[in-house]
Structure 1
């Protein structure tokens, strides 16, 4: 298998974008994030592509952001694509965290949500924290029966992941329970709540995703683009865009609080250079709890 962090393949009218760090449960380092951005941009500009499928290689869709693998690269500069905020790598403290997360977390998710072609997430196994953000920016989610979803970061004193879409993809009381407990939500429950569009056995996941993508691809391309924009605009009128900004500020207040009140940064903090977590994702304890 290729060592590229993201694989790209077009089959007919469908582009398949696959996260390719299965050893680390597709934990997302910056190299993967920018490779995803390049793949989505490639699909957007290809007139033959009408639908995009986002998948994860191996047993899990994504265990979240990479804070502990040997290829963790949060300290490195990358050519910014999501905004004009300055580079984080030569800054310190809250200035560095805010600059980086504005770009690679919130900024990239907003950028990908606006891709003018339908995106279908094909989810198996763990879809946790940063993985949840990726699934939520997709238009549709097809999940295997063994998939589960979780956002355990409240355990670190942080009010949810950076792309805080929880009250828009879930009823508010369910969103609170999801965050307050940090428990994983089985795919069956997510389907009941409308967060997942199709629920299938694991061995049928690829085929079911393909069939749905090809069915959508039968529709006029411009009509699909306008329809996607119409629904996204309706969500924004319901407060999604401003809500994301508001909670992003609370998220960074929590980071600052953790930095000031702990002698050593807690596991999972962006200030902690290496947790040695073989799962990638968030902090060791929270991730292992979520993966159980």
Structure 2
């Protein structure tokens, strides 16, 4: 069934697994605010359903997600929302850094942190592109199962910005791999992500769903409360290694870069848009 009339996210239950699917395939599942809040409602629905043991996050169509929406007709940066992840004022009606900081702290960093704390195991089922904001969503999940045609990248350094808002890179990839993907902006394959420890499994494209649900079924056989405590234990250890405080500091650098771009150039994105970012990635 569809989570909402617009259908930007769909929700279904398959046995003991809730499947939350980003559903803007015509835009490679670019994430606008409508999608962010639809994802949040779907995750909450899965948490509240005692019959659901595991959650799978997927993307409809050829690609998991091309990242934040920076240019589709459905881009909704000026739409009011009810703050859910962060206790702060709304961004609508504000200007400059006040607008950007409020919006990105809520819909990007805050929401990703909120979803990281989902007490049920979450598996990302990734095919095709998983870029920038898409990478953030995969990072939030506990496991990543990727098809052999999947590719990943965080190319926002091309905008002069030091990575996306949920900056988990050094913890998920390790410092040297994190520097390589950020310094170059290059795409990296699912196999390379597996070698770096970012991805749990790489499977044939036509087996992606079956392999993902097989892992979900194995996890679902474990005690629910034990899984929740184990997830919290690992997350707390990551935070003890500096993940949360490091992310806070990088979020400040991220917004310093936005402000610098806006002061010296045409806009906060360094004059880049979806088309020019794709052209840069393709080397054209």
TM-score greater than 0.5 by the shorter chain: yes
Matched, 1:118 2:116: no
Distance 2:16 2:223 in 1: 12
Matched, 1:236 2:227: no
The corresponding residue for 1:153 is 156
Matched, 1:265 2:272: no
Distance 1:181 1:132 in 2: 16
Distance 2:111 2:119 in 1: 15
> The residue matched to 1:68 in structure 2 has which SS?
coil
CA deviation digits over 1:223-277, x for unaligned, max 9?
A: 0000000000000000000011000000000000000001x226x46xx8xx8xx
Residues 291 and 124 of structure 1: is their aligned pair in 2 closer, same or farther, counting only changes over 3 Å?
farther
User: 8 Å contact 1:150–1:290 — kept in the other structure?
Assistant: no
Q: 1:222 aligns with which of 209, 221, 225?
A: 225
The corresponding residue for 1:8 is 11
TM superposition outliers: structure 1 runs of 4+ over 4 Å: none
Aligned-residue offset at 1:291: 6.1
Pairwise mapping of residues 1-292 of structure 1 onto structure 2 (< 5 A)? Answer: 3-262=6-265, 264-265=266-267, 268=269, 283-290=274-281
Aligned-residue offset at 1:80: 1.1
TM-score normalised over the length of structure 2: 0.96
The 10-residue stretch of structure 1 (171-180 or 27-36) with the greater mean CA deviation from structure 2: 171-180
Aligned-residue offset at 1:290: 3.4
Aligned-residue offset at 1:287: 2.8
Aligned length: 280
Q: CA RMSD in A?
A: 1.5
Distance 2:94 2:267 in 1: 18
TM-score normalised over the length of structure 1: 0.93
Distance 1:204 1:288 in 2: 31
User: 8 Å contact 1:152–1:287 — kept in the other structure?
Assistant: no
Residues 288 and 207 of structure 1: is their aligned pair in 2 closer, same or farther, counting only changes over 3 Å?
farther
Distance 1:37 1:235 in 2: 23
> The residue matched to 2:67 in structure 1 has which SS?
coil
> The residue matched to 1:39 in structure 2 has which SS?
helix
